[in-house]
Amino acid sequence: MSNNFDPNIPPQEQAPQQAPQGPAPYQAPQQPPQPAPYQTLPPPPPPAPKKSYSVWAIVSLVAGILNFKFAPFGAIAALVTGYVARNEIRESNGTLEGQGMAIAGIVLGWVGLAFSIIMVVLSVLFMVGMITSTPLVCGPFFEWLHSLP
């Protein structure tokens, strides 16, 4: 076995001598490693949940528009579906839209219902007026008819 420690050699000479190092030799810059030719892409992020419109809100708006054609049934349908739509949208925690359509249906429903009530009252007043004013307007005609043999 060889030992690096020799008692006959002074301690300065026992240390191994290292050669002085100069500047490192020139090396070409290294290029980053090329990716594999058919590397798979990472999966896309999950899509954000799509917001959809409440079907009840759409029905409420359509019934509110049609209530002037089919009064008072359209007005009642607009009111019922409008309030159902507002409740459904409120409970959906932001996944349903259509609050504006539901409110528009409700407003059109109330306007249509008020219009229907006004028309019924005016119709009743017109009929009462016609019945009570017939002898006054047509009195001479009725007298002539009764005078005929």
Per-residue pLDDT in tens (0 to 9) along the chain, 149 residues: 555 656 666 655 555 556 556 666 667 677 777 766 776 778 888 877 778 899 999 999 999 999 888 888 999 999 999 999 999 999 998 889 999 999 999 999 999 999 999 999 999 999 888 777 766 666 777 677 778 77
Q: What pLDDT, on a 0 to 100 scale, did the predictor assign at position 13?
A: 52
* Beta partners for residue 96, in sequence order: 52
In a domain, 3, yes or no: no
In a domain, 36, yes or no: no
CA-nearest of 39, 35, 42, 85 to 61 is: 85
pTM of the predicted structure, to 2 decimals: 0.57
Enclosing domain of residue 70: 52-147
In a domain, 1, yes or no: no
In a domain, 14, yes or no: no
Q: What pLDDT, on a 0 to 100 scale, did the predictor assign at position 50?
A: 78
**AA identity, residue 87:** N
In a domain, 18, yes or no: no
CA distance 85 to 92: 10
How many structural domains are present in the chain? 1
The first and second tokens of residue 2, run together, are: 């060889």
In a domain, 91, yes or no: yes
Answer for the pair 103, 55: CB distance below 8 angstroms, yes or no: no
